[in-house]
Chains A and B, each alone.
Chain A
Amino acid sequence: MARAGGITNAVNVGIAVQADWENREFISHVSLNVRRLFDFLVQFESTTKNKLSSLNEKLDTLERRLEMLEVQVSNATSNPALFTST
């Protein structure tokens, strides 16, 4: 009886250990996927920041060019004699 009980305890311990390893494997998979998700978020952040910075730069350049064009057009409209043929 005692020998059979010892075998049963060993089997239960083995099952528990296997379940524990399965749980650990599951947790490791989840953590790995979370890390991948985190890496993706970091990469997305950097990409989005880069795109936003380039967009901001383009908008700044465009704003300056538009201001220059506006000044030129205002000068041209303020001096209509430039367009009148003598």
Chain B
Amino acid sequence: METMTAAASMKFPREPANYDEISMQQSMLFSDSLKDLKNLRKQLYSAAEYFELSYTNDDQKHVVVNTLKDYAIKALVNTVDHLGSVTFKVNDLLDENIAEVSGTELRVSCLEQRLRTCHEYINREGLSQQSLVINTPNYHKRYILPVGETMNGGLRTKSKYEGCSVDKGDEWHQFRSAIRATIHEAPPSIASKGLSSSPTPRLVQQPGNFAFSKSMPKKDLERRTVSPHRFPLLRSGSLTRKPTTPKSSRPTTPNQSRPTTPNPSSGRQPFISDPRKSASMRIRVGKESPKEFEQFPSKSKRLLKALLSRRKSKKDDTLYTYLDEY
């Protein structure tokens, strides 16, 4: 019984200093409780043997029985206390570990989310870089040609012009070669009347009055037909250098005031600023109306057909009038 009471006695801990000391003390108490539970079985067996001997040897059996009852009750209560404290500590330990694991899971989830965010950011950056590498569609030069005025020979009172674009390189080369061939094969009689500074009305009224090669020799003409600067086509880059009035600014012969080289900086200029001369080079499509772009291939084809048909006749003045505009 003395051992039982000694085992049941609680050790009062001193004041802990920090968390480590508290945990150490709790672990020590837990281990002591487990040791007491282990020793409880031996104590109960030894108490049973003691009471059995006392009951057989002692005359006062009633006192022995009463003592045995008290001891059994105390042993049972002590066992319940031990088991309660041990189970409470085990539960507390398990809950602490589960909470710690839950916190660690949250941290790992946070790390995974961060890593996923980094992956998404990297993918987005790579996609943006690759998308910048992709070449945007580059549209070629586009020319605005007056429709109906030069063909009919009327005055330039109409403000209706139709655009024509040479979308493909083959059409563009065909167009240039057709123009060159037409000019080159033109008879001298046609081009012997001189060239005026504002040729359009007069040239329309006088068919075949194209004085391209009057003031220059044939050798020079051949040389200039080969030169790409002979008929420099107007582009949007030269719009800033041209005056707004077309009649006064249109020279009869191509000069250097009209640059033939494409100007990339003028690729985003408006489509028509000077409708008679304008030719713009576009880089992007999205800001323009789609109808205009749909009209240009058909117009260019019509223009090529007209040029080629006029080339055979060689007497049509409209072509020269038309070419005179350039």
Contact = CB atoms under 8 A, between A and B. Distances in A.
Interface of A: 23, 26, 30, 33-34, 37, 40-41, 44, 47-48, 51-52, 54-55, 58-59, 61-62, 65-66, 69, 72-73, 82-83, 85-86
Contacts of A82: 122
Nearest to A61: B105
A68 to B, nearest CB: 8
Contacts of B28: none
Nearest to B125: A85
Nearest to B115: A72
A9 to B, nearest CB: 18
A69 B112 contact: yes
B83 A51 contact: no
A44 B87 contact: yes
Contacts of B112: 65, 69
A37 B84 CA distance: 10
A69 B119 CA distance: 13
Interface string B79-102: 110010001001100100110011
B83 A37 contact: yes
Given A23-B65, A72-B115, A62 B105 contact: yes
A55 B122 contact: no
A75 to B, nearest CB: 11
Contacts of A61: 105
A65 B108 contact: yes
Interface residues of B, number: 25
Contacts of B69: 26
B122 A48 contact: no
A55 B72 contact: no
A61 B73 CA distance: 47
Nearest to A43: B87
A33 B76 CA distance: 8
A69 B79 CA distance: 48
B105 A48 contact: no
Contact of A37 (B80, B94, B105, B111): B80
Nearest to A33: B76
Contacts, number: 55
A52 B90 CA distance: 11
B97 A55 contact: yes
Contacts of B189: none
20 contacts: A23-B65, A26-B69, A30-B76, A33-B76, A37-B76, A37-B79, A40-B83, A40-B87, A44-B83, A44-B90, A51-B91, A51-B98, A54-B98, A55-B94, A55-B101, A58-B105, A61-B105, A65-B108, A69-B108, A82-B122
Interface string B105-124: 10010011001000000100
A62 B104 CA distance: 8
A15 to B, nearest CB: 11
Contact of B94 (A33, A51, A59, A83): A51
A54 B91 CA distance: 14
A69 B101 contact: no
Contacts of A23: 65
Contacts of B72: 30
B129 interface: yes
Contacts of B115: 69, 72-73
Most buried by A among B104, B108, B129: B108
B129 A86 contact: yes
Contact of B108 (A44, A66, A83): A66
Nearest to A44: B87
Nearest to A45: B87
Nearest to B94: A51
Given A48-B90, A82-B122, A62 B108 contact: yes
A29 to B, nearest CB: 9
B73 A30 contact: yes
Given A58-B101, A59-B101, A69-B112, 4 more contacts: A30-B76, A55-B94, A55-B97, A65-B112
